[in-house]
Structure 1
Amino acid sequence: MTKFKTTYLLLLLFILCFGVNCKREKTNNKTEDPNKPNIIFILADDLGYGDVGFNGQQKIKMPNIDKLAKNGMVFTNHYTGSTVCGPSRAVLMTGKHTGHSTVRGNPRWTASGTPVDINAEDITVAEELKRAGYTTGIIGKWGLAENLADGLPNKQGFDYFYGFNQHSPAHHYYPKTIFENGNELTLEGNDPQTKQGQYIHYLINEKATQFIDKNYKEPFFLYLAYTIPHFELTIHEKEKEQYKSLGWPKRKMTPGGYYHDAEGHTTYAAMVSTMDKDIGKLMKQLEDLGVTENTLVIFASDNGHEYDDLKNEFFNSNGDFKGHKRDLYEGGIHTPFVAYWPNKIKAGSTTNHLSAFWDFLPTACDLAGITPTDEIDGISYAPTLLGNENQQQKHNYLYWEFNERQGPIQAVRQNNWKAVKFDKKPVELYNLSNDTGEQNNIAEQHPEKAKELLYFINNSRTEHPEFPLIKKTLKKYNH
């Protein structure tokens, strides 16, 4: 009996010790795993590099975006996915540049005239983050489901969607309908032509607020894709008041397919400032909920500006750059970009790390502790965000292609070298270290470098039947 008791006590002691050790090991593992941050990617539509205060804008007031820059990290060498919104957004979502992505042009610029959406085989950043336990939402302009089929956000990893599946409806601020998940909702009283009813930007912000309120207790990813300041240019008169008495010259806007307000400058500035004001409200909401320090907020634009007249610039929307929307010169693809994450990202910091939209997916995966599923072109910039630049991998080069009226056009950036190639024309070469405005084509002075970048231009894409690099004409389609 005594021997049995002794054996029993030893066995019991062993079990207790093993249990404590197991519990301690489990606790330690949990402690070692970093907290998965909430991720909010805010995307403006057609906002130029020079339209933001942290890149030199002096006319348009945007204290909240400037505050993000003051307390976060500004990327001076960040690029969009494309020079128009459809392919740019596809690149952002899939981590593949336009030489490899499914969507390489806007809907009417396909070979057949049939819009191309991202498909079931595409793996989006939302699908990746779902694997890591995130709740995912897209609010605003999706623009990757023209056919209302496989490209729908709820089929691409998003738990919640409120906004525009297609491009054309997103061009109006008083749309008749809007999608919420799979339901097309009628906005009672809305008339795009008379600009009556509910201004859609306010509704987008309301839904963003609700999404955060509902999901802030667990990791969430919010892709907040504003339609501001894309044409049409229109905003409530109350938003323009701060600009009306400044003595600005008038710029008459002519209504057409877009139902612009009569005067452009005050409207454009007021639209950007309204977006800024609502970003401020969002940041205040994160603070009130106590999740600011575990939330990465990124602000960028989908491509270069369209509003400012390059022949008579008022806002200097492209800064020192050449070109704007629909160009592969810097003004069309070099985007404003700022990242904010208190106590993780050094306040007031700047980086010249060369990065692009296709880097967002691997960055989000990196921060969520997972590896991208698909073969992608992006490289995580998380080391740069977290101050570990000595661990930052770098691109050998960046590649773009674009094919609308001036196309086909291709471009490559490698370090400070930039090459631009128009169809059947010699490659252009620029040194951005001393020629930010791409004014001096030095291909003849540096033939070996021009040849090297031309090789990348010719060997950085897979063929796509709907996006061949041949001269195209605009197609008509019914969406």
Structure 2
Amino acid sequence: MKQLKAFNIVLLTLALGIVSCKTKQADKQQQAQEVTAKPNIIFILADDLGYGDVGFNGQDKIKTPNIDKLAANGMIFTNHYTGSSVCGPSRAVLMTGKHTGHSTVRGNPRWTASGTPVDINAEDVTVAEELKRAGYTTGIVGKWGLAENLADGLPNKQGFDYFYGFNQHSPAHHYYPESIFENEKRITLDGNNPQTKDGQHIHYLITEKATEFIDKNHKEPFFLYLSYTMPHFELTILEKEKEQYKNLGWPKRKMKPGHYRHDEDGHITYAAMVSTMDRDIGNLVKQLENLDVADNTLIVFTSDNGHEYDDLKNEFFNSNGDFKGHKRDLYEGGIHTPFVAYWPNQIKAGSTTHHISAFWDFLPTACELAGIKPSDKIDGISYLPTLLGQNDKQQKHDYLYWEFNEREGPIQAVRQNNWKAVKFDQKPVELYDLNQDISEQNNIADKHPEKAKELLSFINNSRTEHPEFPLVKKTLKKK
């Protein structure tokens, strides 16, 4: 009898061992499936592209068929905002999930109290660092602009496995730069001359490196930050790209070369630059399809701030749509930019959302996609529920906040639901109802004093002090 009991115990032990082994194997398989299920993330950022510069927002002169196709097969955000109305702080907000009242970089390099550029630092936690924790391979190709001092702000020190592009702002102003960085090594571009525009146009090299990154890393989850420099001044592109816009009877806007080595005909050049970028985005989507990873890749397309090119006194492209202002404004034209998200079989094709979101929401969205929580205190809220059509689960901001201090600054702004407040230094707060007045033409602060007071309190209590970015009138420091 004892022998039988002992035998049964052995059998039970073996059975439990087999079950335990199978459970561990199942757990490993589930973990592997979860890793595989993590979507690739490609964030495409245009430079100085206006809300109205794309077809899905009403553009009828510039051709953007591939971006429009992303919109037709994805989701358009009608209420998405940038981090700032100029490039440096906007990109810092995008990377760190903190708005300009809390971010390390709150202005472009020379607009600091000391005149010394401020970069993101070792304490900042970027979206790339977060995604690295979740097993992603990370890369940035194009304009970084957050390492003016070539120190802690370098992309490879901020969570990126691969970098090809511009660490600093001024070199990114030219499309035929003498050198470019690959990781932390400066590479000379033989034959390039930014003054004569000889050599290789950097847009094509940026596109090539993005393609190489995807080819090399598509078998595991990857994050690619594709940060194009077009259509930022200077306006220049290969002549072959302009052919589709010649002989259309457009009036000629003659551009005068200075710091920016513009091509002569502004309208044709600007349109050709946008369409060239559009074509290459289309090629990138085809690449994903050919590699059989399109269905597991989220593509986001937007712009870093409002447009600069279109002359507000004599608009030709209507680059800001119905909005007031453009780059360097905290009116809608400076911070309300095109935004489309595309993810086959996950995002409902042809959908539109009016959810109010901003650049500081990208980091928590990426974290939720990767199955992790942000490791730092941030201002952002994930918009993944909106992407997946789960509107009942979508958290909303109490309000959005911006500050900006160049030229006409300091300026602060807040959006709360349909209400928008803009405050210029030493002037009364302006109040607009965007549901009734998207063009911000009618300041109704005197008609709604309590609402104006409420939004002014948000403006006054939404920032931490920063010694290099005090909210006092500034003049540009000379080099």
Normalising by structure 2, we get a TM-score of 0.98
- Shift in CA distance, 218/6, structure 1 to aligned 2, threshold 3 Å: same
Pairing partner for 2:193 from 186, 191, 194: 191
Pairing partner for 1:262 from 239, 247, 264: 264
Distance in 2 separating the partners of 1:236 and 1:31 = 45
What pairs with 1:139-178 in structure 2 (closer than 5 Å)?
Answer: 139-178=141-180
Partner deviation per Cα, 1:332-383 (whole Å, 9 max, x = no partner): 0001000000000000000000000000000000100000010000000000
What pairs with 1:100-179 in structure 2 (closer than 5 Å)?
Answer: 100-179=102-181
Distance in 2 separating the partners of 1:162 and 1:417 = 41
Offset of residue 35 of structure 1: 1.2
The amino acid that maps onto 2:465 is E
The amino acid that maps onto 1:220 is F
The amino acid that maps onto 2:57 is N
Stretches of structure 1 lacking an aligned partner (at least 5 in a row): none
Question: What residue in structure 2 maps to residue 368 of structure 1?
Answer: 370
Question: What residue in structure 2 maps to residue 447 of structure 1?
Answer: 449
Distance in 1 separating the partners of 2:441 and 2:259 = 34
Question: What residue in structure 2 maps to residue 459 of structure 1?
Answer: 461
Are the counterparts in 1 of residues 35 and 221 from structure 2 also a CA contact under 8 Å? no
Look up the SS of the partner of 1:89 in the other structure.
Answer: helix
The amino acid that maps onto 2:273 is M
Question: What residue in structure 1 maps to residue 77 of structure 2?
Answer: 75
Distance in 2 separating the partners of 1:173 and 1:33 = 39
Question: What residue in structure 1 maps to residue 38 of structure 2?
Answer: 36
The amino acid that maps onto 1:118 is I
Distance in 2 separating the partners of 1:21 and 1:179 = 48
- Shift in CA distance, 26/189, structure 1 to aligned 2, threshold 3 Å: closer
Offset of residue 20 of structure 1: 2.9
Residue 201 (structure 2) pairs with residue 205 (structure 1): no
Look up the SS of the partner of 1:440 in the other structure.
Answer: coil
Distance in 2 separating the partners of 1:13 and 1:365 = 40
Offset of residue 433 of structure 1: 0.3
Distance in 1 separating the partners of 2:476 and 2:334 = 20
Distance in 1 separating the partners of 2:256 and 2:30 = 65
Offset of residue 457 of structure 1: 0.4
Offset of residue 28 of structure 1: 5.1
Question: What residue in structure 1 maps to residue 16 of structure 2?
Answer: 14
Are the counterparts in 1 of residues 144 and 155 from structure 2 also a CA contact under 8 Å? yes
Question: What residue in structure 2 maps to residue 311 of structure 1?
Answer: 313
Question: What residue in structure 2 maps to residue 216 of structure 1?
Answer: 218
Are the counterparts in 1 of residues 36 and 221 from structure 2 also a CA contact under 8 Å? no
Q: How many residues align?
A: 477
Distance in 1 separating the partners of 2:417 and 2:233 = 34
Distance in 1 separating the partners of 2:11 and 2:373 = 47
Pairing partner for 2:344 from 337, 342, 361: 342
Question: What residue in structure 1 maps to residue 395 of structure 2?
Answer: 393
Distance in 2 separating the partners of 1:471 and 1:24 = 62
Distance in 2 separating the partners of 1:108 and 1:213 = 38
Normalising by structure 1, we get a TM-score of 0.98
Question: What residue in structure 2 maps to residue 383 of structure 1?
Answer: 385
Look up the SS of the partner of 1:367 in the other structure.
Answer: helix
Partner deviation per Cα, 1:218-270 (whole Å, 9 max, x = no partner): 00000000000000000010000000011100000001110000110000000
Stretches of structure 2 lacking an aligned partner (at least 5 in a row): none
Offset of residue 13 of structure 1: 3.1
Distance in 2 separating the partners of 1:12 and 1:408 = 74
Partner deviation per Cα, 1:75-116 (whole Å, 9 max, x = no partner): 000000000000000000000000000000001100000000
Distance in 2 separating the partners of 1:452 and 1:5 = 78
Distance in 2 separating the partners of 1:258 and 1:337 = 28
Pairing partner for 2:300 from 290, 294, 298: 298
The amino acid that maps onto 2:202 is I
Pairing partner for 2:417 from 415, 418, 433: 415
Are the counterparts in 1 of residues 67 and 278 from structure 2 also a CA contact under 8 Å? yes
Question: What residue in structure 1 maps to residue 66 of structure 2?
Answer: 64
- Shift in CA distance, 449/238, structure 1 to aligned 2, threshold 3 Å: same
Look up the SS of the partner of 1:109 in the other structure.
Answer: coil
CA RMSD for the aligned pairs? 1.3
Question: What residue in structure 1 maps to residue 282 of structure 2?
Answer: 280
Offset of residue 21 of structure 1: 3.9
Pairing partner for 1:430 from 422, 429, 432: 432
Residue 474 (structure 2) pairs with residue 472 (structure 1): yes
Distance in 2 separating the partners of 1:424 and 1:318 = 28
Percent identity reads: 80
Residue 335 (structure 2) pairs with residue 333 (structure 1): yes
Distance in 1 separating the partners of 2:277 and 2:406 = 29
- Shift in CA distance, 16/74, structure 1 to aligned 2, threshold 3 Å: same
Distance in 1 separating the partners of 2:227 and 2:418 = 30
Distance in 1 separating the partners of 2:306 and 2:269 = 18
Look up the SS of the partner of 1:107 in the other structure.
Answer: coil
Look up the SS of the partner of 1:247 in the other structure.
Answer: coil
Distance in 2 separating the partners of 1:135 and 1:330 = 35
